[in-house]
Amino acid sequence: MTSSLEIPSALTSEEAKLLVSLCYHGKLYEIEKWICSGKSLHVPPECKRPPLQIALDQGFHSLVELLARSDIGQKAKNEALADAVSKRHLEFVQLLFRHGAEISTVPFSHVLLSWDPTLIRFFLDHGADFISGSPFAEAFGARIRTALRPFIECKQKHPELAHQLQDQADRALRYFCHEGNLKWISLMLWAGANPRAAGPKLGDEEDLEYSTTALREASYIGNVEVLKKLKPQPDRDDLSELLRCAAMLGRTEAVHYFLELGASPNNKPNGGSSALDSCLWHLNFENPGAFFSKTTEIHLRRAPNPGSTSTTC
């Protein structure tokens, strides 16, 4: 066996072609003799598919095991592990892990995107990193339902990482509110996502410029059914700000909903309306028909405002 401090010699192009041919044709005993004779298994870079991945492609268990326990190289084992995950082949994942393939080299998001609960659990049980890169948020964004239960279990088993996990759920909720996806909004709320938590949506950069909340995103979209699911409350939420978000894009039904909840349209110190301001500001830059409707204006102007009748902008 080659010392870990030595760089294994690569086969010549002709030798590599022969070894690859033996793998393609499943010549297990000839490959075993090849290994016993001390010949290298390291093919040159121009070889598109190394022997271990060819064995995986063919589902040849004995050949995969023979190569994995031989001096095939750490890189080849890790690449084969990623390949086995993409094929959702748990048996080969377990085999490669036993023979030294490193769990950490496969992004956990790739495992979640496999949809395979058993594969997901295997990686979690063997130390997968479920924080870096927000893999659960990525899986939720891709609507991977099988990621929900492992997410809940991770929160329960790792209270020290609860904040980072919560951030992933909150980010996904903000994304689905922006999309208006009621089904996944319900699922994320079930998973414990907070509609009032501020931060970027899934896909946005980590920057204060992109900070928002699920409630604000839902207000911009104006889907009243979604808003009711998020349960805005006068004593917890700035309803006037949410009203402004809804009015900005002419979401008439949402405007009416917030006014019924008690949002004040005339929330400025001078008795003016920030919601009406937003509508009129957009008129300077956008097509009025796209962002502002006469009905929205009527709702804002007719809304009662204790102590003032002004709707001055």
Show me where the domains of the chain are located.
1-101
Fold exhibited by the domain 1-101 = 1.25.40
Q: Are 216 and 239 in contact (CB under 8 A)?
A: no
Count of beta carbons in the 10 Å neighbourhood of residue 265? 25
Mean pLDDT by 10 residues, the chain (313 residues): 51 87 89 88 84 89 91 90 94 95 96 96 96 96 97 95 96 96 97 95 74 94 95 92 86 90 69 57 51 50 49 36
pLDDT of residue 267: 57
pLDDT of residue 11: 84
pLDDT of residue 130: 97
pLDDT of residue 31: 87
Q: How many residues does the chain have?
A: 313
Q: How many CA atoms lie within 13 A of 167 on its CB side?
A: 13
pLDDT of residue 308: 45
